[in-house]
Amino acid sequence: MIAITRYRVPGQEADGFAERMTAVLDALAASPGYRSGRLGRTVDDPSLWALVTEWDGAGFYRRALGSYEVRLEFIPLAALAVDEPGAYEILADRPAAGNAAGQ
């Protein structure tokens, strides 16, 4: 499953945001079931950011969010989060050409 959390970050807070979210990614990466994570910012609206993580399942993601280490980094940024559902079940997946298993 993937989890997508979008953030609306005012210009005055943008400078340290990537560093703070990297600390969140580090905390999440130490959690069981974590597969990968990325932080991005839109090219069309620099105030809109997204944290995208991939997990072995929704239970792993939810347990990770409940851990003290993750909450310590994540909670202070929650006020900037866009209030919308963020957990997605993967229904289709296609690797890029040449990235098939065994190559």
Domain architecture of the chain: domains with CATH? 2-88 (3.30.70.100)
Which residues make beta-bridge pairs with 16?
Answer: none
Q: pTM of the entire structure?
A: 0.85
Contacts of residue 23, defined as CB under 8 A and 6 or more positions apart, other chains included, come to 73
* Closest C-alpha to 21, from 12, 31, 29, 32: 29
pLDDT along the chain (103 residues), means of 10: 96 91 96 97 95 96 94 91 92 83 53
Q: Considering Cα of 92, then 95, then 97, then 100, what sign does the dihedral take?
A: negative
User: What pLDDT does 98 receive?
Assistant: 76
* Closest C-alpha to 35, from 63, 54, 61: 54
User: What pLDDT does 60 receive?
Assistant: 96
